[in-house]
Amino acid sequence: MGNKTKYWKSLGELKDNPEILQTKENEFAEQLPSDIFTNDGVNEASTSRRDFLKFVGFSMGAAALASCEAPVTKTIPYLMKPEEVTPGVANWYASTFDDGHDYCPVLVKTREGRPIKIEGNNLSKITWGGTSARVQGSVLSLYDKARYAGAVIKGAAKSWEDVDRELGTALNGAIASGKSVRVLSSTVMSPSMRSAISEFCRKTGAKHIQYDAVSQYAIRKAHWHTHDKAILPAYQFGNASVIVSFGADFLANWISPVEYAKQYSKNRKVSRENKTMSKHVQFESILSLTGSNADTRVPVKPSDLGANVVALYNELSGQSLPVSGKVNKDAIAKTAGWLRNNKGKSLVVCGVNDVAVQIVVNEINKWLGSYGTTIDADNASNYRQGNDEEFAGLVKDMNEGKVGALIMYRSNPVYTAASMKFADALKKVDVKVSLSTSPDETSALCDFVCPDHHYLESWSDSNPRSGHYSLGQPAIAPLFKTRSAMESFLRWSGNNQDAHTYITNYWMAHVFPMQGKYMKFSEFWNHSLHDGVAEVGTAPVVTEKKEETKKEVKPEEKKEETAPVMTDKWDVAAAAGKIAEVKGGAMELIIYEKTGIGSGNHSNNPWLVEFPDPISKVTWDHYITMNPADMQGKYDTLERQDMIGDIATITVNGVTSTLPVFPQPGQATGTIGIAVGYGRMGIGKVAEIAGGDNAYKYVQMSNTGTMQYFAGTVTISDKTGESFHFACTQQHHTMMGRKMVNETSIGEYINGNPEHWNHKEYLTVFNTEGGHEKVPVTTQNLWDNFDRPGHRWGLAIDLNSCIGCGACVIGCQAENNTATVGKSQIRNVRDMYWLRIDRYYSSPMTEEVAKQEGVGKVDMYLEMEKPHTENPRVVFQPVMCQHCNHAPCETVCPVVATTHGNDGLNQMTYNRCIGTRYCANNCPYKVRRFNWYNLNANYRFEHINPAHESDLLGRMVLNPDVVVRSRGVMEKCSMCIQRIQAGKLKAKLEERKLADGDVQTACAQACPTNAIIFGDLSDKNSMIAKHFADERSYFLLEDVGTLPNVAYLTKVRNVDESEMPKEEHKNKEDKKEEKKEHA
């Protein structure tokens, strides 16, 4: 469709900035400094002709000499080879990623005892094998050289015996002085860990307080008001036909994004058989990943979100509760209409951590009949158990000197509660203990640092939802002298069990009786450990029965004891009253999480810090986002290629941050966005390079006793005069402004002619009778067709399912040893990602429309800019090597380093490549990456690239089946040829045909929404063949004649046709022909 619709990646491109137009044409952002080779330059060149000849002679001689002596290669076999380890063969272990913020059951791939890759666990009935960028990147944090090497007391390394003894004395002292002991942690979903902590609490009289960096306490509290239970219900996005979200970024950050993305994608997929899809409406302030996937997106200032929720409630229920604030009446009316038509099949979620707002949301969901269909309140989730009020109480107690000892587990309040001056409060505590694995702001201030294992080194369990359990097992022996936090708590409570025994005993006593499948515990345990997950009665009825019998151990029961302390319950009117109290300002601030580093748990992980933000495409930098309309005239809107912006200072209640300003189309006007996770101190080199400022210091307490992640009144200074060069991949590898993405509306998809919305390219040729004939462009061919005797590998990418989350990007990086390159190289357009996700903005205004309507050029651009920078439509498109059957790169390589396989793969041979870069220049998809440096040895990348030779720990993450590339060679997506070869070998050994799904590329496996499908096109019954044959499929730049082995499936939006960009799919000849046909 709409090949005249303007899709743009940045404001500069939108406005046809000549610099950017120029770079679009070029593969490489910079020209070679060729002037020194021309006549003029040669006289000034520092290298004379004689020097040049000397260098040539020397290097030839040196090369010949160096290769004369045989290098001796040493090999050291095992002394006692473990039975399960075979060098060269990977072992897989089921485990669980749960860092108190994200949860995901995983499979860990280990080679020679080293974990090197994380995959999702398909057996989990929560995440169904999905992963996220953070989960994929979590393996690298194991090899973080900044980690604690052992226990530390007041800065001095100590043995664990010393720590236990000295801490015991200190704790006794604190208790004797009449002060209390507190344990502070983020959400603990591990039932065994809870039990261990409560053992400790019983022993010392301590109290356990949970506190989340990004809290959702309001949801629990609101459910106490409306449902008498302080629970976080389990959301079922998969059952909803209409999804309305108020500021909940549930596909990237909100509560359990992997789980929700999986459910969400189920109803977003369309096929010939099932042409229905859910409708997604998003009200939000910043342009989030979730918002960019919405069918209808409404930008709303943070303070107005509550008002819009109340307005929706009024609209649905017919009541007229007071609404103060700006409400988008039109959008609310439409949304109410969709919801009303889908009662019992709709879901409203809200990310605002405000009890009053959540109460109204609960009432809306009640009215819609969502409870029992799209919301499961019987089998509640155990995510986000943090209690903001208790935490505030703790800080108060600390300030009053009532807390004698504070033990912090998976919690970094000095950083995340900077707004509450936690560091000052901590000074008044006598005994400060941190269990952090690696240094953080809090552990720096603690007397005792008792580092916990990394999750890949320890035994753990998790209970994310009633009836769902998962286990974590060590995939590697501890790298450092750390100790499992569970064991620490047990030691301090006089229990000498190790974590494994303790968890086994806990499961025997509490989990085993809940299931009826296995008679013997050993059987149950072995199966659970093998599978990594255990479902113990998911049917609500069964679970309820179990709950009755196991009352004392249910975590949520405990929750109820500690939940809200207030006596009166608010009804919806009272809640609306509270909402009306919220005051906004001319400029408001909203604090959000980045898809890569999240709440700050991954701030020192080079993969995730360099990971381009799905929306802004900025890599390392911390910045302020604003709508370009707000920036106009005040700050540079980055329309130039160089991406140099202005710096400004924001002030909220006297607290300031000075950060560069980044234009973000789609952000609500009058809103400033700042991400958390930056400005980390002393946690490692990567975080230091990333820099930035701590946004948690703007978190405030709302009038309903919860952490509020926005500020109503903000002042922002004029530009300071300094400028900032963004490390942003937004303009990188832009594909010459041609038609890339294809989208249509659901109505047209169902009723329209595919030829209209998935327009194929035609070519007019002479036919045998001497006349003209129009034939599909793919049938015309300059080259001989390749032989395909066996497999033909292909990828299909469903743009409808792709949410742009970037799990594939990090999955690819982990699998293929692609380097991280650092800020300066990103600025030079030298990122090394084999798989990038292009993010396009689009809007209905086009040059054609302007011409037809007689809009002047200046007005047209103004008009073009206005509506869509306010609320552009977003398309994500993962682009990797297209493995063209007639690949332009192959024909230009002077040394035949890139060749074609008979299985359709475009192969890249690094050892043959001499680095002419002709291939990259000739690639229309711009997917080839050149090694400008020896990224693994050059001093510039010492602290950036985990595979750098100076980092013996970081190098352990490398995949030994993929070559680490050196300087001067080209590299690109190989379609995970190492996996293909391994899969083929397995089939040969088992003497069977290769079945569909036997081989998965890293990107396809990482994808939480199954948007990427890999398979053998020669197998006509395979998933991939079906995707290629789908009416939605099209190829990138089909008219170039490259015949790619990667197909894209048209994006379908659940919107009215009127909301879609105008149709301009037919050229004049087409129209003429149609007329003829009619005649």
Q: Which residues bind other proteins (CB under 8 A)?
A: 64, 67-68, 70-81, 83, 86-89, 787, 789-790, 897, 899-903, 905, 907-912, 961-964, 974, 977-978, 981, 984-985, 987-989, 991-994, 1018
Side chain identity, residue 215? S
Rank residues 75 and 751 by Cβ distance to other proteins and give the closer one: 75
For the bound state, the minimum distance from the C-beta of residue 994 to other proteins, rounded and expressed in Å, comes to 7
DSSP string, 975-1032: -SHHHHHHHHHHHHHTTSPPPTTSS--HHHHH-TT--EEEEETTSTTSHHHHHHHSTT
As a whole number of angstroms, the distance between CA 115 and CA 65 comes to 40
SS3 track for 665-726: CCCCCCEEEEECCCCCCCCCHHHHHHCCCCHHHHCEECCCCCEECEECCCEECCCCCCEEEC
Q: Which two three-digit tokens encode residue 1010? A: 């199954």
Closest CA relative to residue 536, chosen from 513, 559, 519, 556: 513
Q: Which of 356, 975 has the CB closer to other proteins? A: 975
Shortest distance, position 779 Cβ to other proteins, whole Å: 23
Q: Which residue has the tokens 């087409």?
A: 1070
Q: Closest separation between CB of residue 547 and other proteins, Å?
A: 46
Among residues 40 and 784, whose Cβ is nearest to other proteins? 784
Residue 330 token pair: 């039109």
Closest CA to 219 of 87, 319, 345, 365: 365
Q: How far apart are alpha carbons 106 and 618 in whole angstroms?
A: 28
* Least gap, CB of 964 to other proteins (angstroms): 8
State which residue, 871 or 1018, has the beta carbon closest to other proteins.
1018
- In whole angstroms, the minimum distance from the beta carbon of 931 to other proteins comes to 14
- How many CB atoms lie under 10 A from the CB of residue 292? 24
Phi-psi region of 247 (alpha: psi -120 to 50; beta: other; left: phi over 0): left
Least separation, in Å, of the C-beta of 933 and other proteins? 19
* Min separation Cβ 69 and other proteins, Å: 10
> CB-wise, 83 or 1077, nearer to other proteins?
83
Strands 1046-1049 and 793-798: what pairing?
Answer: parallel
**How many Å apart are CA 326 and CA 300, to the nearest integer?**
8
Tokens 């080079």 belong to 606
Pick 236 or 1018: Cβ nearer other proteins: 1018
Q: Which is nearer to other proteins, 877 or 885 (by Cβ)?
A: 885
Sign of CA dihedral 402, 405, 410, 412: positive
Q: Which is nearer to other proteins, 45 or 962 (CB)?
A: 962
Q: CB 907 → other proteins: shortest distance, Å?
A: 3
Q: How far is the CB of 853 from other proteins (least distance, A)?
A: 53
Instruction: Round to whole Å and give the CA distance between 219 and 227.
Output: 11
Residue 80 beta carbon to other proteins: minimum distance, rounded to whole angstroms: 5
Beta bridge partners of 208: 183
The H or E element spanning position 649 is: strand 644-652
Cβ closest to other proteins, residue 166 vs residue 1019: 1019
Neighbours of 488 (CB within 10 A): 27
Least distance in Å: CB of 984 to other proteins? 8
**Residue 87 or 494 having the CB closest to other proteins:** 87
Closest contact distance (angstroms) between CB of 1018 and other proteins is 8
Collapse the DSSP code of 807 into the 3-class scheme (helix H, G, I; strand E, B; otherwise coil) and give the result: helix
Q: How far is the CB of 72 from other proteins (least distance, A)?
A: 6
CB of 95 to other proteins, least distance (A): 24
Q: Match 């109410």 to its residue by tokens.
A: 336
- Whether residue 1037 contacts residue 735, with contact meaning beta carbons closer than 8 Å, is answered with yes
Total number of residues shown for the chain: 1079
Burial of 178 (0-12, 13-18, 19+ CB in 10 A): exposed
* Closer by beta carbon to other proteins, 87 or else 372: 87
Scanning 792-885, the segments in alpha helix (DSSP H) are: 807-816, 822-827, 847-853, 857-870
DSSP 774-786: EEEGGG--SSPPP
Sign for the pseudo-dihedral over CA of 802, 804, 808, 809: positive
CA 662, 664, 665, 670 dihedral sign is negative
Taking the least distance from each CB to other proteins, the nearer of 81 and 517 is 81
Question: Alpha-carbon distance 645 to 662, whole Å?
Answer: 7
Ramachandran region of residue 749, left (φ > 0), alpha (ψ -120 to 50) or beta? alpha
Q: How far is the CB of 502 from other proteins (least distance, A)?
A: 32
Q: From the CB of 194, what's the least distance to other proteins, in Å?
A: 42
Which lies closer to other proteins via its Cβ, residue 984 or residue 1065? 984
3-state class of 743 per DSSP? strand
- Longest CA–CA separation in the chain, Å: 105
Pick the closer one to other proteins by CB: 76 or 519: 76
CB of 86 to other proteins, least distance (A): 5
Given the complex with other proteins, which of 82 and 770 has the nearer CB atom? Answer: 82
Comparison of 70 and 858: residue with beta carbon closer to other proteins: 70
Q: Which is nearer to other proteins, 179 or 791 (CB)?
A: 791
Looking at residue 691, its amino acid is G
In a 13 Å sphere around the CA of 945, the CA atoms on its Cβ side amount to 25
**Nearest distance from C-beta of residue 1026 to other proteins, angstroms:** 19
**Does residue 1045 contact residue 884 with C-beta atoms inside 8 Å?**
yes
Q: Which residues contact 896 (CB under 8 A, 6 or more apart)?
A: 912
Say if CB 836 and CB 818 are below 8 A apart.
no
Q: Which is nearer to other proteins, 610 or 815 (CB)?
A: 815
Neighbour tally for 1079: CB within 10 Å: 5
43 to each of 35, 73, 771, 1062, how far by Cα in Å?
11, 47, 61, 58
Residue 224 to residue 227: CA distance in whole angstroms = 5
